[in-house]
Chain A
Amino acid sequence: MELTRRDFIKASAAAAAFAAVGVSVARPKGAEAAETGITWGKAPCRYCGVGCCVLVGVKGGKIVATKGDPAGPVNKGLNCIKGYFLSKALYGKGRLTTPLIRKGNKMVEASWDEALTLIASKYKEAIAAHGPDSVAMYGSGQWTIHEGYTASKLMKGGIGTNNLEPNARLCMASAVVGFMNTFGSDEPMGCYDDLDLGDTYILWGANMAEAHPVLFSRLIDNKLKHPGVKLIDIATRKTRTTKMADEYIAMKPHGDLAAVNAIIHVILRDKLYDESFIKQHVNFKRGKENAPYGLKDKEVFNETPADIKNLTFDEYKELMKQFTPQWGEKISGIPAKKIEELARIYSDKSRKVNSLWTMGVNQHARGVWVNNLIYNLHLLTGKICKPGENPLSLTGQPSACGTAREVGTFAHRLPADMVVMNEAHRKKTAEIWGIDPAKISAKVGLHTMEMFRAIDRGELKCIWIQCTNPFQSLPNVSRLRKAAEARKAFIVVSDIYPTKSTEVADVILPSASWVEKEGVFGNTERRTQQWFKMIEPPGQAKADTWQLIEFAKRMGLGHLFPYSEKGFYKEMWEEYRKFTIGVGKDLAPYEAYAKVRGLRWPVKPDGKETRWRYTETDDPYVKKGEGVKFYKAPGNKVNAWFRPYEPPAESPDKEYPFWFCTGRLLEHWHTGTMTGRVPELKRAVPGATIEMHPEDAKRIGIKNRDMVRITSRRGTIVLPAEINGRSTPEKGSVFTTFFDETKLINELCIDAFDPLSKEPDFKKCAVKIKKA
């Protein structure tokens, strides 16, 4: 008799029911096979920078199950609710399955060859007429390392332009510049273990409970286990993070710039610093001040060596005298007494102090400065490079670190901390790529905001967008959408679903996502995680690497990618790995990653990972007896920067009396392209709301769920009010999320950016509110 799988499942069902009433029965062997007829593979979560590991169950070419990977060191089998419904992100309604080409107002199905030949002809045409800097590519911190590497080699080494940017410009650029100009090398010295080992955590404008869900659960566990652990939430609104913190300190928007300076003032005034650490490791510098806000097109601001002054410790102390706690209180809203207290906490020798921050500090008109200042706190007190005691910049995207930063898909970067402006760096890169060094342009490409403005100005003729949704996520987006709608440039968008960006595209290409292709991601704590392809992408969808290389062939650049079909991922990896060896960013051979749940670089010669950089306890680049050595900084000395206070680009006034801040929530990811198609998440949080302080709402006569019109100088939008809900902004501020594609909240945001990092300030502009 032929028994089907269904019969086995039924047998299991009956057996379980018997067991429930205490009759113990065994499951038939066949039944077990029926349930485990699933092949499980490992992968990192597709969504956030935490980098949870998941197991993906595949049967009959389809994902039938996913679960948190108990062997995953970050999450030990847990996920947040986005991760729980991970596979549904691939099986949502409306996957793009065939290339589409614009014919007037219609998108018409086309073959890959037609689409790619068209793109190549447009790129060639533009390059012939206007040079290689008239074309661009805009990628993503959700690109895999291979995708970013392919794009970088193609644009920088092949086409010969540095017009390559990742959407990480919108989230991590300030952190990057902060790392580079303080330590001479990108990415943190510490890791997630610090969340288990420390006893004091100071959050600067970060809602970790929602933006880094599983990591927050780890941090709180440290608090539960050790009652002495203190969590201080310094922020502009009360969030779910506040609810679990020991202390909430309300701060005015942009107030961090003043508050940290005032804390440093107290540390210096009361001699709370670690003099010997400073002597051994720290140089003091003063940079260029009176910086602009990037509001004018083509505005240039660079901090060149000529602009930088060396300071002695005494000169630095003298300069810092102006930032008294009273001054700090006036500007930041944090009481002077609290500032004094924070200085004492930061310098308390019996406390292991960690600073944690993310978009509050990075999406900031002076984001680099605040990054620098937070490092100063740790450098002055010597609380750095020790297990359980570090500053940790938290990342938002799954591979903002691995791809955007390590591969270097920014307009000024090359792999492994190198930059296009440096001749030696270009030479080394050209050597590994096997090309003429002259091919790599020394001219920094257009950064994200300028790239899209250049479309409006008619200067950029072609742009290819992969794996991101800029026509929803960029600030002051209406100007950019209008330019695109006026067809001022030829726009190609590769994605997995229709988005606000495919809406304005000339060519739409269907992409493979996540386990529909092989890939590698790098998370916040320098952990590199690999996965294999497990299922076929739908229809004609193709991996972004395939798309780029097929395009390259049509551009006569196919020789840049000489990898065999079978060994593609490994061969490209081993080439990329050459950049990382011996420079403190060492990656392991490709096979090593197939076996483990990620490794934190620099990977040691014996194949072991590094948890803490720059310290003899763990880092292979620091010899025993050397203690702490900042070997990536010139003269092994890092920079403590003098960074004064400068106001935000736009502040509330009579006409626009409210601060407007934007961000994330737990249930949705970025512009909602994926999570918006997961019915459970959509049901949980169907759309954006505007969070207000109850007193503000009362004053204007707004009740919970009333429709509210929010207007800035750039746009206007109507959202339902959320009062006394999950978060409450401070009086005078309102907050909303950016996942809702039916509400383009970025039309309201100002396109001011940090002059050093060029990262836009999504957290601050002025709006007026009225009942709609």
Chain B
Amino acid sequence: MPTEPTHTDISRRQFLKGSAITPLALMLAGSGIAAVYLRPATAGGFTLRPPGAITEKRFLAACVRCGKCAQACPYKSIKMAGGEAGVGIGTPIIIPREMPCYLCSDLPCIKACPSGALDKKLEDIEKVRMGTAVIIDRESCLSIRGLRCEVCYRQCPLIDKAITIEPRHNTRTGEHTIMEPVVHKEKCVGCGICEQSCVLPKPVIVVQRTVEIQKDNYEF
């Protein structure tokens, strides 16, 4: 049976729910955790909007919630947000894991938008910036672990531009290549196809808010 915990780092511990396992977990002394996965918290507060959406604040004000973009989308990528979106209720959103944006070359969603919430000046699909794909969990990414996955890379509509493969020697096996997918934010349109296609149960690559490039004078 469990003995008294010896670990003193945990000073103000509380036992809020009595259960068979609570004392068990706490009595654990020593070391020896084989695998610990830490996943950063997801980017809270970011909503993926259709192509051409103006900045979020202005978008919320401009969008008349008519749903025309959603109707125009041949893939039904655009959904109308429900009550959970708070003030954003009724605005168009894209949930990549359900259906990413396939980047129609004629951008019918923008054409359908009557309010200017989707910017009609945007015509070149490679200039779309809905967000930026980020590998949020390198430890889980199969390719970074040396397997031959790279599914996100091969599915990216801007393959070799938005995502490239950076090969490097696998020091563990000594004779294989790690083919790491690397996203280039100056090219990524944020369509979410990579996020949708990632083979793991929780996507390892996800679209997040685009962080402005911080300009300085160094040019290489």
Contact = CB atoms under 8 A, between A and B. Distances in A.
Chains A and B touch (C-beta atoms under 8 A apart)? yes
Interface of A: 1, 3, 7, 10-11, 14-16, 18-20, 22-28, 68, 75-81, 83-85, 196, 213-214, 216-218, 220-222, 224-225, 240, 243-244, 666-667, 680-681, 683-685, 703-705, 724-726
B30 A216 contact: no
B89 interface: no
A3 B21 CA distance: 8
Band of interface residues on B: 35 or more
Interface in B51-77: none
Contacts, number: 153
B159 A84 contact: no
Given A15-B25, A18-B28, A217-B177, A84 B142 contact: yes
Interface stretch (B79-87, B129-137, B149-157, B210-218): B149-157
Contacts of B160: 243
Most A CB atoms within 10 A — which of B149, B174, B175?
A: B175
Given A16-B36, A18-B28, A24-B33, 6 more contacts: A15-B33, A78-B148, A81-B142, A666-B148, A680-B200, A685-B155
B169 interface: yes
B33 A78 contact: no
Contacts of A75: 173, 176
Contacts of B175: 76, 196, 218, 221-222
A11 B176 contact: no
Interface string B12-45: 0000000011001110111111111010000000
Contacts of A1: 1, 20
A216 B154 CA distance: 16
A26 B28 contact: yes
Given A84-B147, A218-B175, A28 B199 contact: no
Interface string B175-213: 111010000000000000000110110000000000000
Contacts of A684: 151, 155, 197, 199
Most B CB atoms within 10 A — which of A225, A684, A724?
A: A684
Contacts of A666: 148, 150, 154
Interface of B: 1, 7, 9-10, 20-21, 24-26, 28-36, 38, 102-105, 142, 146-151, 154-155, 157, 159-160, 165, 167-170, 172-177, 179, 196-197, 199-200
28 contacts: A7-B20, A10-B21, A11-B21, A14-B26, A18-B10, A19-B31, A24-B30, A28-B28, A75-B173, A76-B172, A76-B173, A78-B146, A78-B176, A81-B151, A84-B147, A84-B199, A213-B148, A216-B148, A217-B148, A217-B177, A218-B175, A221-B170, A681-B199, A705-B102, A724-B159, A725-B154, A725-B159, A726-B159
A78 B10 CA distance: 39
A140 B175 CA distance: 31
Nearest to B198: A684
Nearest to B146: A78
Most A CB atoms within 10 A — which of B10, B32, B165, B176?
A: B176
Nearest to A25: B28
B149 A81 contact: yes
A54 to B, nearest CB: 12
A703 B157 CA distance: 13
Closest 9 pairs between A and B when the two form their complex, measured CB to CB: A14-B25, A25-B28, A213-B148, A76-B173, A26-B30, A80-B148, A220-B177, A680-B199, A19-B33
B176 to A, nearest CB: 4
Contact of A20 (B36, B149, B170): B36
Contacts of B196: 683
A224 B168 contact: yes
